[in-house]
């Protein structure tokens, strides 16, 4: 469906309003006019009816006088006295012609008709209106009567000679011609009918005016008051007045009509003029409305086009509207608003794509720029420049100085890497994209950046070293997409933080975030659920008893596609992804279950299980271990737990709380890899520790390095003085085993004794173990 435009809507509104107002005016004027005409017509009709009746009365009096003259005629009286009917007939006929009577009668005093001038046989024997005879002797008597289906003025006068001898009646017809003469001689309505009631109670017309309108045939009843009636297709005001007061005569009424259509005819010219003016007004209104709508809509259409341009991101100045009215003010305001929106949009776009502190492009803008550049470049280098001390600087001197330092670093980078695209990658790092660059150019710029950024940031009373490092990812060797290239550069930066030269290229072999490693976690979860992982047990030898009395439980995984997966390849990843809890729960449940089986066989060995740093943050761990021990009915001293000092250092409060709850259960806790950390002694007095495990880096050189022997002896002596047991890991030869036995070490484990064995192999090895077999 087509949409009507503003111009057309405005024009239609104006025209519709004009038409509606004129139509309402016409209806009101027509109604008022009709009411006035009806009221005036009723007044005129009533007056005309009264005048018609009055005229009839006047004419009755004159006719009665004329007939009265006949009563004085000598010849008529003599003929009556002589009973000369022929003479009477002749006199009556001649006199009737003079007065306009169509019928003359002579009656006896008893009402018997003696002479009737009506040609042809007469049906009358007696005069039918005795009331007129009675009144004739006292007054002039005339009345309108119906006789033989016609209306007459019937005048009755007595004949005296000198006593009353007879009566003469003159019947003057009231017919169509008579009504026409009356209308001609006086102002009467043109629609008049005389009607008489028939014996069948029907009204028949006995006389009608020249209009020939059938008033009576359209009426439902006769009323003396004017009423609006529909006569044919026309409206009339109609009333009826009785004309016959005689009881013996059939009732006669004069029905008078007033045509409302004729009354409205003089207004037709006014109506035609009004319709002409209305048509002219509509044309002028439509033209004016169209011009006004055009004048209003064109600026609005121009503003609408500007809005559509703004919607598409085009903030060019809108079309000028040279007007001083409200539309001109609207256009000016819209133009100002457009400029403000454009400035605000530019500011928002700049803020969304730039770093607020350094005003360098941000990571989002950099990624988009690099992606576009990769479509045109065969090779390139992405340098990720990190300032490693920024978190420490923020904690020490606050964000304000840190932001000034970052602005200074950004300026140094901008001035140094003039051939590249520089941006801020994160809170502590910048990136530099070098299109077309190879490894040599990337290394050269990296070393130059280190030289520039190693200069301390100076402020009054402040000198700060930022300790920069640079990670490099090459396109297309390391990645082909911008997002992947950024990720690889960040991984290279982490590697650069660990090397002395502080510059490193991305190395896929050392990338801990490779997709295959993430899929490895899913495989590990499935392997645990399907029991595809197993526990192996590395024997622990009691040096005092010279017997195998326990083992360390170590997880092993034979991947269906990758084959054997070393623990170092998935344990670290499990810790990083939070899956280590699942692994630990499985190891604990499996180890305790195995202890239960050995106990049922009379083998009272103990098993040590390793806990990670994340395990020590699990407040439910002590309850879970206690439940497993109770479920399998394993003695608490048979299970031992091993932790590293780094696991405690991260969250010491929670870790120590968990360890104390485990120790309260009666579990023995050992510090694994003791001697390689930096804070072991600081935590020994806080931890519920029962055993120290000397790291293998000190044990492997016991046969050849005196320093290692001294360190190991010192650790054993210290541990014993503190009441701890000692286990030496990494025993690889007999000399080391002999030395450990000599200095009083409690336990030893290593490949010289046995590697980690499956359950059956461990049982066979431990049961059949003899000291001499190792010598």
Q: Note the pLDDT tens digit of each residue in 60-90.
A: 777 777 777 777 777 778 888 788 888 888 8
**More confidently predicted of 666 and 514:** 666
Cα(428)–Cα(478) distance, integer angstroms: 23
Please state which CATH class domain 373-510 belongs to. alpha beta
**More confidently predicted of 425 and 248:** 425
Question: Phi then psi for 547, rounded to 5 degrees?
Answer: -145, 160
Q: Is the pLDDT of residue 248 over 80?
A: no
At residue 683, the pLDDT reads 64
Q: Is the pLDDT of residue 576 over 80?
A: no
| 670-723 tens-digit pLDDT | 988 887 655 456 667 778 889 999 989 899 988 889 999 999 999 999 999 989
Cα(155)–Cα(70) distance, integer angstroms: 12
Pick from 451, 466, 511: which is nearest to 484 by CA? 511
With cut-offs at 50, 70 and 90, classify the pLDDT of residue 198: confident
Structure tokens at 53: 């009746």
- Beta 191-197 vs 533-542: how paired, if at all? unpaired
Tokens 């090895």, residue? 765
Q: Is the pLDDT of residue 247 over 70?
A: no
At residue 512, the pLDDT reads 57
Q: Under CATH, domain 515-766 is a member of which superfamily? A: EAL domain (3.20.20.450)
Percent of the chain residues topping a pLDDT of 90: 27
Q: Which three-class secondary structure state does DSSP give residue 541? A: strand
Cα(765)–Cα(756) distance, integer angstroms: 11
Pick from 706, 766, 773, 698: which is nearest to 728 by CA? 698
- Is 453:445 a contact under the CB 8 Å cutoff? no
Q: What is the mean pLDDT of residues 614-628?
A: 91
Cα(253)–Cα(206) distance, integer angstroms: 10
Please give the angle made by the CA atoms of 743, 748 and 752, to the nearest 5 degrees: 115
Run of H or E including 230: strand 227-231
Q: Is the pLDDT of residue 766 over 80?
A: yes
Q: Which three-class secondary structure state does DSSP give residue 533? A: strand
At residue 773, the pLDDT reads 46
The rounded mean pLDDT for the chain is: 82
Run of H or E including 738: helix 734-742
Q: Is the pLDDT of residue 9 over 80?
A: no
What does the DSSP assignment read for 681-711? HHHHTTS---EEEE-HHHHTTTTT-HHHHHH
Q: What is the mean pLDDT of residues 506-517?
A: 66
**More confidently predicted of 762 and 350:** 762
| pTM, two decimal places | 0.47
Q: Where are the domains of the chain?
A: 1-264, 272-353, 373-510, 515-766
User: CA of 47: how far to CAs of 213, 229, 239, 546, in Å?
Assistant: 21, 19, 11, 155
With cut-offs at 50, 70 and 90, classify the pLDDT of residue 743: very high
Cα(340)–Cα(452) distance, integer angstroms: 42
Question: Phi then psi for 280, rounded to 5 degrees?
Answer: -65, -40
Question: Which CATH number among 3.90.1150.10, 2.40.50.180, 3.30.450.20, 3.80.10.10 corresponds to the domain 1-264?
Answer: 3.30.450.20
Q: What is the mean pLDDT of residues 95-102?
A: 83
| 307-362 tens-digit pLDDT | 777 666 666 665 655 666 666 666 677 677 777 777 787 787 778 888 888 889 99
At residue 749, the pLDDT reads 95
With cut-offs at 50, 70 and 90, classify the pLDDT of residue 516: low
At residue 249, the pLDDT reads 67
Question: Phi then psi for 265, rounded to 5 degrees?
Answer: -60, -35
Residue 218 burial (CB count, 10 A): 15
Q: What is the mean pLDDT of residues 290-302?
A: 67
Percent of the chain residues topping a pLDDT of 70: 86
Cα(505)–Cα(477) distance, integer angstroms: 11
Q: Which of 377-391, 559-573, 671-685 has the highest mean pLDDT?
A: 377-391
Structure tokens at 133: 């005879």
- Is 193:180 a contact under the CB 8 Å cutoff? no
Q: Is the pLDDT of residue 762 over 90?
A: yes
Cα(354)–Cα(359) distance, integer angstroms: 6
Q: Burial, 729: exposed, middle or buried (Cβ in 10 Å; 0-12, 13-18, 19+)?
A: buried
Q: Is the pLDDT of residue 466 over 60?
A: yes
Q: What is the mean pLDDT of residues 2-10?
A: 65
């Amino acid at each position: 469906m087509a949409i009507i435009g503003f111009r057309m809507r405005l024009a239609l509104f104006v025209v519709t309003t004009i038409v509606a107002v004129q139509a309402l005016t016409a209806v009101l004027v027509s109604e008022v006019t009709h009411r006035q005409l009806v009221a005036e017509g009723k007044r005129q009709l009533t007056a005309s009816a009264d005048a018609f009746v009055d005229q009839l009365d006047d004419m009755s009096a004159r006719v009665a006088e004329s007939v009265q003259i006949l009563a004085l005629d000598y010849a008529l009286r003599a003929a009556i006295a002589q009973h000369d009917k022929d003479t009477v007939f002749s006199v009556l006929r001649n006199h009737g012609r003079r007065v306009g009577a169509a019928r003359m009668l002579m009656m006896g005093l008893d009402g018997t008709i003696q002479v009737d001038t009506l040609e042809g046989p007469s049906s009358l024997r007696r005069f039918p209106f005795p009331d007129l005879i009675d009144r004739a002797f006292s007054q002039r008597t005339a009345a309108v009567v119906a006789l033989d289906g016609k209306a007459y003025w019937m005048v009755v006068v007595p004949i005296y000679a000198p006593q009353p001898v007879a009566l003469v009646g003159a019947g003057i017809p009231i017919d169509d011609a008579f009504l026409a003469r009356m209308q001609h001689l006086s102002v009467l309505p043109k629609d008049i009918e005389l009607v008489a009631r028939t014996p069948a109670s029907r009204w028949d017309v006995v006389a009608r005016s020249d209009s020939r309108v059938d008033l009576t045939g359209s009426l439902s009843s006769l009323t003396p008051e004017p009423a609006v009636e529909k006569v044919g297709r026309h409206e009339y005001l109609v009333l009826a007045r009785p004309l016959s007061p005689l009881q013996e005569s059939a009732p006669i009424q004069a029905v008078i009509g007033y045509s409302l259509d004729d009354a409205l005819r003089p207004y037709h010219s006014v109506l035609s003029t009004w319709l002409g003016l209305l048509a002219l007004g509509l044309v002028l209104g439509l033209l004016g409305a169209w011009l006004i709508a055009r004048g209003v809509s064109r600026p609005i259409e121009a503003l609408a086009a500007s809005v559509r341009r703004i919607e598409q991101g085009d903030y060019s100045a809108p079309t000028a509207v040279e007007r001083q009215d409200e539309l001109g003010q609207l256009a000016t305001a819209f133009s100002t608003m457009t400029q403000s929106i454009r400035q605000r949009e530019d500011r928002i776009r700049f803020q969304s794509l730039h770093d607020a502190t350094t005003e360098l492009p941000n990571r989002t803008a950099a990624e988009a720029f690099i992606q576009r550049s990769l479509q045109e470049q065969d090779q390139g280098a992405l340098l990720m420049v990190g300032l490693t001390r920024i978190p420490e600087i923020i904690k020490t001197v606050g964000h304000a100085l840190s932001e000034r330092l970052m602005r200074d670093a950004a300026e140094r980078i901008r001035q140094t890497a003039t051939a590249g695209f520089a941006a801020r990658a994160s809170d502590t790092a910048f990136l530099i994209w070098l299109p077309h660059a190879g490894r040599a150019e990337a290394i050269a710029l990296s070393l130059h950046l280190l030289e520039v950024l190693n200069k301390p940031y100076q402020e009054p009373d402040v000198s700060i070293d930022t300790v920069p490092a640079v990670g490099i990812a090459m396109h297309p060797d390391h990645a082909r997409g911008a997002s992947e290239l950024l990720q690889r550069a960040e991984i290279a930066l982490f590697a650069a933080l660990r090397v002395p030269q502080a510059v490193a290229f991305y190395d896929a072999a050392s990338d801990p975030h490779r997709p295959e490693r993430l899929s490895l976690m899913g495989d590990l979860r499935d392997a645990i659920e399907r029991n595809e992982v197993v526990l192996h047990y590395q024997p622990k030898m009691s040096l005092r008893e010279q017997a195998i009395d326990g083992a360390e439980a170590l997880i092993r995984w034979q991947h269906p596609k990758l084959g054997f997966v070393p623990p170092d390849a998935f344990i670290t990843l499990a810790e990083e992804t939070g899956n280590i809890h699942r692994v630990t729960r499985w190891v604990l449940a499996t180890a305790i279950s195995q202890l239960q089986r050995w106990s049922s066989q009379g083998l009272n060995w103990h098993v040590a299980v390793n806990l990670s740093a994340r395990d020590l943050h699990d407040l439910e761990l002590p309850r879970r271990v206690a439940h497993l021990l109770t479920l399998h009915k394993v003695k608490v001293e048979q299970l031992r737990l091993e932790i590293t000092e780094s696991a405690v250092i991260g969250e010491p409060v929670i870790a120590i709380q968990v360890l104390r709850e485990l120790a309260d259960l009666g579990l023995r806790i050992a510090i694994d890899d003791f001697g390689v950390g930096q804070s072991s002694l600081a935590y020994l007095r806080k931890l519920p520790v029962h055993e120290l495990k000397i790291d293998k880096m000190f044990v492997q050189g016991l046969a050849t390095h005196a320093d290692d022997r001294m360190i190991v002896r010192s650790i054993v002596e210290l541990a014993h003085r503190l009441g701890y047991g000692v286990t030496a890991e990494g025993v690889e030869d007999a000399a080391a085993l002999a030395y450990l036995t000599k200095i009083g070490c409690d336990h030893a484990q290593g490949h010289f004794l046995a590697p980690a064995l499956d359950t059956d192999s461990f049982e066979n090895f431990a049961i059949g173990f003899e000291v001499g077999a190792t010598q």
